[in-house]
Chain A
Amino acid sequence: MPVDRSVVGKSTGHTRVVIERGPVAVFADAVKDANPIYRDPAAAAAAGLPAIPVPPTYPFVMGHWGTFPELQPDGGDEAASGMGEILGPLLARGGLLLHGEQEFEYHRPVVVGDVLVGEGRVADVYEKQSATNTLTFVVLETSWYDDVTGELVVTSRTNLLVRT
């Protein structure tokens, strides 16, 4: 079955997340980062930041902590179809899902107190044939905007790999 490229460009949903102090400190601990900047507002201020920043890979997990139901944009669930459309059929065929690559681009530091709106889309889908498997690559891109100013804050690109 050839890969369905019609999903490229489709939305994977909108999410609004709140960046909170406690989860940032817990996450810094988990990635072995003892820097006081992730725990102490004075240390963040001394580094010239407006508030406690987040570790570079925190944008990957911030939805786990700060996604509150009453803050979600209207239609957020409805739009979350692009990912299901592409991954659903692949996984239904017994595919093994792997995280192949991950990239972040930071346009300004993410800090505690930020409210960010993420707009996700399927950036690309392509297939490669190996001797024994079909490898399907799905690139998901999420652009996170400041909910107040509308400025682009961070872009996340996730390259998933499904082996069938």
Chain B
Amino acid sequence: MTDVTMPSYEDIEVGATAPERRQMLTRTDLVKYAGASGDFNPMHHDEILAKAAGMPSVFGHGMFSMGLLCTALTDWAGPGHVVQVGVRFSKQTWPGETLVTRIVVTGKRTEGGRRLVEVECRLANAEGETKVVGTATVQAA
């Protein structure tokens, strides 16, 4: 967890960012996610089968990437404050890569008495290759 939380609705500005999270992906991470999610597609944990299918190694679950991104989002906005989150899975993630979250405020609006902040969320590797990108709406204090 980080200690930096989302500013109030009045103070938040377009371009503000949530603290970045960096995570080096390991095979153990993928085994843990398989167990926690019930997704036992062998491409995510069985190196022998993954290589036989032409992959350089096992690769990460898309939903694990989305999960990491949402951890960065709730660290900042607070659990229970996420109204909507939607992402597109663009590239596979590979063990050994460092995955970096980037969450940037793109707008704010009120709707039905709720004060909402729009963000763009992106997970990329350290070289800048985008893995997952999307948008989220969070409720401000």
Contacts and interface: CB of A to CB of B under 8 A. Distances in A.
Interface of A: 23, 26-27, 29-35, 37-38, 47-49, 53, 55-57, 60-61, 64-65, 98-106, 109, 157
Nearest to B33: A30
A94 to B, nearest CB: 13
Given A30-B33, A35-B74, A53 B79 contact: yes
B36 A106 contact: no
B68 A31 contact: yes
Interface stretch (B8-16, B82-90, B105-113): B82-90
B112 to A, nearest CB: 12
B74 to A, nearest CB: 6
A30 B60 CA distance: 12
Contact of A106 (B33, B82, B88): B82
Given A102-B63, A109-B79, A157-B86, 19 more contacts: A26-B36, A30-B29, A30-B37, A30-B64, A32-B29, A35-B1, A55-B67, A57-B70, A61-B36, A61-B39, A64-B37, A101-B89, A102-B66, A103-B84, A103-B87, A104-B82, A104-B85, A106-B82, A106-B83
Given A99-B63, A102-B62, A103-B87, A30 B74 contact: no
Contact of A99 (B35, B62, B86): B62
Contacts of B79: 35, 37-38, 47, 49, 53, 55, 109
Contacts of B67: 30-32, 55, 57
Contacts of B82: 56, 104, 106
Interface of B: 1, 21, 23, 29, 32-33, 35-39, 62-64, 66-68, 70-71, 73-75, 78-80, 82-89, 134
Contact of B35 (A30, A37, A103): A30
Contacts of A35: 1, 74-75, 79
A12 B35 CA distance: 25
Contacts of A99: 62-63, 89
Contacts of A27: 36-37
Nearest to A49: B80
Given A61-B36, A64-B37, A103 B68 contact: no
